[in-house]
Amino acid sequence: MATNERNATASVADSNAIPRQVWIISGVAMLGAVMSILDTTIVNVALATLGKDLHSSLTNIQWVVTAYMLSLAAVIPVTGWASRRFGAKPLFLISLSLFTVGSLLCGLATSDTELILFRVLQGVGGGMIMPLAQIIMADAAGPKRMGRVMALVAIPMMLAPTLGPLIGGTLIQTLSWHWIFFVNIVVGAVAIPLAFRLLPSPRLDGERTETLDVLGLVLMSTGLVGITYGLAEAGTYGSFSNAHVYVPVFVGVVLVVAFVVHALRTEHPLLDLRLYCRWHFSAASIVMFALGAAVFGAMILMPLYWQELRGFNVIDTGLLTGPQGLGMAVTMPLAARMTDRYGGGPVALVGVVVTALLTIPFGLIGAHTPIAVLSVAMFLRGAGMGSSFMPAMTAAFAALDRSEVSHATPQLNVLNRIGGSVGTTILAVVLANAERGAHTASAAAGAYGTAFWWSAGMAALAVIPCVVLMRAEGTVRRAAARSSAPDPDRLVIDSGVVAEALA
């Protein structure tokens, strides 16, 4: 009997092992995603150089970043429909090609107008890459391996704000600003042929015959563009009370609400909002939004602190923010295994609590706080962040059929990006207002402390939905364990459930 149990346990372990082909597919998919996410932050450090070389004002050159963000927001909603209609692999190849060509044109731009236009093209390709990579990886991973494979998705999301400024600063100082775009051509030249050769061809199914929800696309894309633009303007004006901020945000929100009404009345909407009827998915989505606001918002603070208050250059700043990325890298593999075993809810809850608690020391930051102390705190906070995003993302997929992944992925990306934009804007405005009248280094450090207290509060807001997610996920797992004939297309059964059943 004991031998049979050991053999059964070994069989479960073997079935739960991730095949080499899945790692290959995931690696190729994430190679393209790394380009898109890094480019979001790598350009930020080049704005001053771009303005000088292209003889452009700061107001105009900021559109290099804003135009990219707007095109990302506009194209993400259509990604799910396009992947169902044409297949994820062909669309992924097109996205990589658009992004690579857009990068080449950006590097060759001779004026701010040309650069802004080419950034729009780059953003159209870049906006589809990440959700398509998630769709491809979720399909390849299957129900039992989601945690460890989806950990790959979190890596570029977490490390981009840390590595982007370092890579951008190094390229600018050693080569020229053109290379912050040309570097994407090198990656694209590797990623495109690998994707063509190694990614699986799309499976034909009846769902691909659905027509595009044009009205839904117009409402959702225009609404997201309005919200994104307004939030970007809030960072520019340092206030939410300016008409350039609240008018586009209000119009964007109205259009998104109109899309919600439309989607709930349409048989084949652009995005299936009925997924939110499941507490499991709803809670995970709220966690993704709240984490996007808390984590990505706070990521702008330490680089500014190191440069503006402590006087470090861009490369040194990138190195000083490295402990946070190291903390994430250390905990992600462990969090992935814990997610496969216990579910995303409990792991995400621990990660969120750690992230919130380890933000508190930064609320007490001073003008001369020892670098070693800040580095340790950043490492530990990074550990919490590395244990938050991936489990929450995995849990969001946990109660979905494979056919629903293409609907869910764009929505999670939209929520995460909007959450990041909201958090970044709020903390930028809080910091700007707190810095007014700060004429000493100590007072300026206090302004950063105030912004970090806000960040801690944002992270704390994710605790309640994490608890809801944990309870909802537990209900789903117990139901799955009782099922005598689980659906092979359902992303709810994992190695943890089977091992518990054998025990």
Most confident of 31-35, 361-365, 417-421: 361-365
- Are residue 281 and residue 323 in the same domain, yes or no? yes
In this structure, of 119-133, 224-238, 480-494, the range with the lowest mean pLDDT score is 480-494
- Are residue 141 and residue 192 in the same domain, yes or no? yes
- Residue 246, both tokens: 């609240």
- Are residue 262 and residue 290 in the same domain, yes or no? no
Residue keyed to tokens 């340790």 = 376
| 121 sits in which H/E element | helix 112-141
pLDDT tops 70 at residue 500: no
- Are residue 35 and residue 133 in the same domain, yes or no? yes
pLDDT tens digits, residue range 365-404?
988 899 999 999 999 998 888 888 778 777 777 666 766 7
For residue 47, which of 60, 61, 57 has the smallest C-alpha distance?
Answer: 61
Are residues 419 and 291 in contact, defined by beta-carbon separation less than 8 angstroms? yes
State the residue range of the domain holding 114: 20-199
Structural domain count, the chain: 3
- The phi and psi torsions of 312 (rounded to 5 degrees) equal -85, 150
- Residue 129, both tokens: 């890459």
Are residues 351 and 401 in contact, defined by beta-carbon separation less than 8 angstroms? no
pLDDT tens digits, residue range 235-286?
677 777 888 888 999 999 999 999 999 988 888 888 888 888 877 788 878 8
Q: Say if 276 falls within a structural domain.
A: yes
Q: Mark 230-266 as b/e (b = at least 16 C-beta within 10 Å).
A: bbbbbbbebeeeeeebeebbebbeebbebbbebbeee
Q: How far apart are CA 213 and CA 205, in angstroms?
A: 19
For residue 140, which of 31, 29, 14, 235 has the smallest C-alpha distance?
Answer: 29
Q: Say if 248 falls within a structural domain.
A: yes
- Are residue 424 and residue 351 in the same domain, yes or no? yes
In this structure, of 110-124, 217-231, 265-279, 359-373, the range with the lowest mean pLDDT score is 265-279
Q: Say if 286 falls within a structural domain.
A: yes
Domain boundary among 199, 221, 250: 199
Q: pTM for the complete prediction?
A: 0.74
Return the percentage of the chain with pLDDT > 90, whole number: 16
Kindly provide the residue ranges of all beta strands, DSSP E only, lying in 200-281, ordered along the sequence. none
Q: Say if 1 falls within a structural domain.
A: no
Q: Say if 182 falls within a structural domain.
A: yes
Q: How far apart are CA 302 and CA 39, in angstroms?
A: 19
Q: Say if 152 falls within a structural domain.
A: yes
Q: How far is CA 153 from CA 37, 136, 272, 448, in A?
A: 11, 11, 22, 30
What's the CATH number where 350 sits?
A: 1.20.1250.20
